[in-house]
Amino acid sequence: MKSSVKIAPGAVVCDECELIGDITIGARTVIHPKARIIAEAGPVIIGEFNIIEELVHITNRFPDGAEGKKNSQVMVIGNNNVFEVGAQIESTKVGDHNVIESKAFVGPQVELTSGCIIGAACHVTTGEKLPENTVIYGAKCHRRIQRERPPAQNLQIDFLTKILPNYHYLKKVSKAQSPPK
Summarize as ranges the residues that interact with another protein (CB under 8 A): 117, 119, 135, 137-138, 142-148, 150-151
| Identity of the residue, 19 or 130, whose beta carbon is nearer to another protein in the bound complex | 130
Q: Please state, in angstroms and rounded to a whole number, the distance separating the CA atoms of residues 51 and 97.
A: 11
Q: What are phi and psi of 161, to 5 degrees?
A: -65, -30
Q: How far is the CB of 136 from another protein (least distance, A)?
A: 10
Q: How far is the CB of 148 from another protein (least distance, A)?
A: 7
For CA atoms 97, 84, 45, 107, give the dihedral sign.
Answer: negative
| Identity of the residue, 57 or 149, whose beta carbon is nearer to another protein in the bound complex | 149
Q: Please state, in angstroms and rounded to a whole number, the distance separating the CA atoms of residues 45 and 26.
A: 8
| Identity of the residue, 43 or 119, whose beta carbon is nearer to another protein in the bound complex | 119
| Identity of the residue, 112 or 135, whose beta carbon is nearer to another protein in the bound complex | 135
| Identity of the residue, 64 or 148, whose beta carbon is nearer to another protein in the bound complex | 148
Q: How far is the CB of 113 from another protein (least distance, A)?
A: 15
Q: What are phi and psi of 145, to 5 degrees?
A: -105, 130
Which helix H or strand E contains 167, and what residues bound it? helix 154-167
Output DSSP code: residue 126: S
Q: Which residues contact 123 (CB under 8 A, 6 or more apart)?
A: 104, 105, 107, 141
